[in-house]
């Protein structure tokens, strides 16, 4: 029981000990360097490095007290100070008589890293961001995250200790690159040690744990039920407050998405009050306003990641807008206020800047990202120019059987049950997915236009079909 000295720790006041305390070491000094330093004076039986908040202190324990005295004496009278990597290190007797517990699991190299994410917003760092960060050093097999008194932590499993070590050496003490986090997340520092684990047990793919080696692992219900998860990959958790207004961005827009198409799609979940479409960085976005937040939440959950047209076209990404009430200045092919009975009345001024001629709408986009080389799933009907409200214009087959391409779940990890989702209808077989479309009220599924829009590739679905809940998407497991 060598108790810690209570006296002040000034130079030259420590009683001799076979343990020496070293400070001013270069960052992350290694055990090997300590042994090299002490070896000329005796047998180093134990070391402890990376001590202290700056990890620049260490201990060397000699087999014999005289060896420690020899080292202290030598450097006390030497013209050359003790050095590690050219940096002067300062020696003194430790106030303890032995190094305790030097070799923790944290010091033994293994293939699993224990990562502590430090920072005010550490908990907002998503597992996807961690995956991204650590994947730079090799294939990440599994990640689990958890909260301990130490804070927000993760276990990151690599194939081998070498890969893990390279990641540890490169990342320990570093911050997560800012561009991987939302702007409003304060810096997060990574503290990394080795874990004693060699193989993590991951039961589900979820927002807390991932197994990147097992594509058939079930997806945790919590991960499926969650909405708004498409942005987890970059953003961390949901930061946006819920809103009655949804911001939709449309990916892979091979075919025009008209106001009417959006109106129909989003009306499935409740009355759409207003829609405003606009271009953002060359991509189409739209704001869709519901009367209440609840409706917006349901719509978002049901539609997120789904494609308006079969075959992966016009995939919807939804987030909550900061708007609560859109200001629709003019009813045209890009914006409309459905709460006003007569659209013509809401057009106080002629169309002004930024308004596109009608005929530019509805043309097939020169999508470069997606080349439908095979004919399998193109809408057979050529997209029609979108004429206005209440016309007989027929947008090309919006598909109420929206395919789920939930980007939250990594494609490779899609479990068995989702394989049908990926099935191309051209291959025949059972419709891959439950209809997301319900007819909650008379607002939907009435009128000629709707009927035409619903030209069903899968006749079972849609307006006539009675019983399938709108959120069936997310419960289909």
Partner DNA sequence: AGCACA
Footprint of DNA (CB under 7 A): 4, 9-11, 14, 19, 21, 23-24, 48, 51-52, 54, 56-57, 59, 90, 92-96, 98-102, 104-106
CB of 142 to DNA, least distance (A): 21
Give the residue with the Cβ less far from DNA, 13 or 120: 13
Dihedral (Cα; 394, 398, 401, 405), 10-degree rounding: 170
Strands 83-84 and 87-88: antiparallel
Q: How far apart are CA 161 and CA 198, in angstroms?
A: 9
Burial of 390 (0-12, 13-18, 19+ CB in 10 A): exposed
CB of 208 to DNA, least distance (A): 23
Q: How far apart are CA 116 and CA 125, in angstroms?
A: 11
Give the residue with the Cβ less far from DNA, 51 or 239: 51
Strands 209-211 and 142-148: antiparallel
Length of the chain: 477
Q: How far apart are CA 435 and CA 468, in angstroms?
A: 7
Q: How far apart are CA 283 and CA 54, in angstroms?
A: 47
Query: What secondary structure letter does DSSP report for 95?
Result: S
CB of 117 to DNA, least distance (A): 16
Q: How far apart are CA 128 and CA 185, in angstroms?
A: 15
CB of 428 to DNA, least distance (A): 58
CA dihedral for 154, 160, 165, 167, sign (positive or negative): negative
**Residue 349 CB neighbours (<10 A):** 7
CB of 95 to DNA, least distance (A): 4
Place of tokens 């946006």: 240
CB of 293 to DNA, least distance (A): 43
Give the residue with the Cβ less far from DNA, 59 or 212: 59
Give the residue with the Cβ less far from DNA, 92 or 213: 92
φ, ψ dihedrals at 164, nearest 5°: -60, -40
Chain-centre distance for alpha carbon 273: 32
- Are 130 and 208 in contact by the 8 Å Cβ rule? The answer is no
Place of tokens 């629709």: 328
CB of 100 to DNA, least distance (A): 5
Give the residue with the Cβ less far from DNA, 87 or 123: 87
Give the residue with the Cβ less far from DNA, 150 or 381: 150
Place of tokens 């029981």: 1
Give the residue with the Cβ less far from DNA, 91 or 181: 91
Strand partners, 90: 23
SS3 84: strand
Cβ contacts of residue 122 below 8 Å, gap of 6+? Answer: 151, 152, 188
Closest-CA residue to 284 (of 315, 329, 242): 315
CB of 472 to DNA, least distance (A): 48
- Are 91 and 73 in contact by the 8 Å Cβ rule? The answer is no
CB of 101 to DNA, least distance (A): 5
CB of 73 to DNA, least distance (A): 16
Give the residue with the Cβ less far from DNA, 81 or 177: 81
């Amino acid at each position: 029981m060598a108790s810690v000295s209570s006296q002040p720790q000034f130079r030259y006041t420590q009683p001799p000990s076979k343990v020496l305390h070293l400070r001013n070491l270069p960052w992350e000094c290694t055990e090997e360097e300590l042994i090299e330093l002490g070896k000329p004076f005796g047998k180093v039986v134990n070391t402890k490095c990376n001590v202290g908040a700056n990890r620049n202190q260490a201990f060397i324990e000699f087999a014999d007290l005289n060896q420690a005295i020899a080292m202290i004496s030598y450097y006390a009278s030497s013209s050359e100070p003790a050095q590690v990597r050219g940096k002067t290190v300062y020696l003194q007797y430790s106030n303890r008589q032995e190094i305790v517990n030097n070799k923790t699991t944290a010091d033994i190299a293994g293939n699993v890293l224990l990562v502590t994410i430090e920072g005010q917003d550490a908990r907002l760092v998503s597992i996807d961001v961690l995956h991204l960060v650590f994947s730079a050093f090799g294939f990440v097999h599994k990640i689990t995250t958890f909260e301990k008194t130490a804070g927000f932590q993760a276990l990151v499993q690599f194939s081998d200790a070498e890969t893990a070590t390279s990641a540890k050496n490169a990342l320990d003490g570093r911050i997560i690159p800012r561009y991987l986090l939302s702007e409003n997340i304060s810096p997060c520092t990574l503290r990394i040690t080795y874990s004693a684990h060699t193989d993590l047990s991951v039961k589900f793919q979820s927002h807390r744990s991932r197994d990147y080696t097992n594509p058939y692992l079930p997806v945790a219900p919590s991960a499926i039920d969650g909405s708004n998860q498409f942005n987890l990959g970059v953003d961390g958790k949901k930061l946006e407050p819920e809103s009655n207004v949804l911001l939709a961005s449309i990916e892979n827009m091979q075919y025009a998405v008209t106001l009417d198409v959006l109106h129909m799609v989003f009306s499935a979940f409740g009355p759409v009050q207003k829609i405003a479409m606009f271009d953002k960085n060359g991509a189409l976005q739209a704001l869709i306003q519901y009367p209440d937040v609840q409706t917006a939440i349901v719509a978002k959950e049901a539609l997120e990641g789904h494609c308006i047209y079969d075959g992966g076209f016009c995939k919807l990404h939804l987030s909550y807008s900061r708007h609560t009430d859109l200001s629709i200045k003019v009813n045209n092919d890009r914006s409309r206020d459905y709460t006003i009975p007569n659209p013509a009345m809401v057009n106080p001024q002629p169309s002004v800047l930024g308004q596109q001629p009608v005929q530019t709408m509805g043309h097939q986009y020169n999508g470069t990202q997606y080349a439908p080389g095979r004919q399998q799933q193109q809408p057979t009907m050529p997209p029609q120019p979108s004429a206005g409200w209440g016309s007989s214009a027929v947008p090309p087959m919006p598909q109420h059987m929206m395919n789920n391409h939930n980007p939250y779940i990594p494609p490779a990890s899609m479990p068995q049950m989702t394989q049908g989702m990926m099935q191309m209808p051209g291959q025949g077989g059972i419709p891959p997915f439950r209809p997301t479309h319900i007819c909650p009220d008379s607002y939907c599924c009435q009128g000629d236009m709707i009927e035409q829009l619903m030209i069903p590739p899968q006749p079972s679905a849609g307006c006539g079909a009675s019983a399938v809940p709108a959120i069936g998407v997310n419960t289909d497991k």
